[in-house]
Structure 1
Amino acid sequence: MAKIIGKYFIAWIPSEEVSAEVNELKTSLQAKFGLKYALKSPPHVTLKMPFSWNEAKEQILIQHLQGFMDQEKGLELGLNGFGKFGKRVIFIKVSRNEALIQLQSRLVHYCKKELEMTKELSDSNYHPHMTIALKDVKAKDFEMYWDYISTLIFYKPKVVGKLVLLKKVDFRWSILAEISS
């Protein structure tokens, strides 16, 4: 039997109500500018960047992550306004949250030590955010996108959510498992 390697990542996803609002925002960017790449994943804040894993061992991965989260508390985040990474990514800002920073650090350390995952540079330079446009963003049109986003208000001071394991299936990211705390 051939070993099949899948792509996964670990993220915090907001409540269904807030997810619906973020998806409406992504859909408005698609309708207005044709930006659709961000619609390939649910609204989320990444905690562990995408990694490869043997699909035959998915349940082992889920069990390990659940064991990790059994020692953790639930997480509530604030979302406030918009930001950008150069002229390539537009995102919703996550309010400064030390609990999130510490959780991400512990999770990355756990994944390296217990699951023998590579620690990526982006795991060390963590900048929590919720992406709403990427990859199909054109630098030449960026100011037009940004002018539109800048007219909007997105403010959610306390958003409950949950940790999930996502898997790439047919070029889309889908929730494979909820990892409860």
Structure 2
Amino acid sequence: MERFFVALVVPSGFQEEVEQIKQEFSDRYQSRKAFNTPAHITLQPPFEWEPGNIQQVEESLEDFVGNAFPIPIQLDEFAAFPPKVIYINVVKTPELMALQSALIRHLQTTLPSIKRPSHPSFTPHVTVAFRDLTPKNFRQAWPNFEHRSFQGELSPLV
């Protein structure tokens, strides 16, 4: 079994901006794990799946995307899940919340072995530092990002 997740990957111009922020965390706070994935907004948290059967997941997602519509994504400042995660906040628009909820329902119907998210509330975000950000480095970094401005709007995604 391997771990997979479902996410919206943000456009390339924004990827570059997030990579610069991740680099700042790497250089100043020795946090590098966020480099393991491109900038994204997780819609379905990690789940275990047999890699040889990944085609089932791909077909389910293709079916879902075929019936979905593009939505705008709004970014608004930095936020945190203390004591290890700092992220760019994604505004909980009705469209984004509906898309995530519809995806979870779709996956439950088409792939019932994928467990529902353990945290029923959805906090959309783009992670810039986590896991290897020590609590000490979090306490040093957070005051530098807590009031740092970051806003943007991504073109409609799906």
TM-score under structure 2 length normalisation: 0.92
Q: Which residue of 1 aligns with 2:110?
A: 114
Q: Which residue of 1 aligns with 2:127?
A: 131
Aligned match of 1:17 in 5, 13, 19? Answer: 13
CA RMSD of aligned residues (A): 1.5
**Alpha-carbon offset, residue 114 of structure 1:** 1.2
Question: Quick one: percent identity of the two aligned structures?
Answer: 24
Assess if the C-alpha contact under 8 Å between 2:15 and 2:38 holds in 1.
yes
1 CA distance for matches of 2:92 and 2:130?
22
Assess if the C-alpha contact under 8 Å between 1:8 and 1:50 holds in 2.
yes
**Alpha-carbon offset, residue 118 of structure 1:** 1.0
1 CA distance for matches of 2:92 and 2:61?
24
Assess if the C-alpha contact under 8 Å between 1:9 and 1:46 holds in 2.
yes
CA deviations over 1:107-142 (Å, ceiling 9, x no partner): 1111112101111222x2111111111111222332
**Alpha-carbon offset, residue 161 of structure 1:** 5.9
Q: Which residue of 2 aligns with 1:160?
A: 155
1 CA distance for matches of 2:93 and 2:104?
17
Which runs of at least 4 in structure 1 moved beyond 6 Å after TM superposition? Answer: none
Q: What amino acid does structure 2 have at the position aligned with 1:121? A: S
1 CA distance for matches of 2:98 and 2:32?
32
Give the count of matched residue pairs: 157
2 CA distance for matches of 1:34 and 1:16?
25
Trace 1:17-166 onto structure 2 (pairs within 5 A): 17-116=13-112, 117-122=114-119, 124-150=120-146, 152-156=148-152, 158-160=153-155, 162-163=157-158
Assess if the C-alpha contact under 8 Å between 1:13 and 1:161 holds in 2.
no
Matched position secondary structure for 1:121: coil
Instruction: Name stretches of at least 5 consecutive residues in structure 1 with no aligned partner.
Output: 164-181
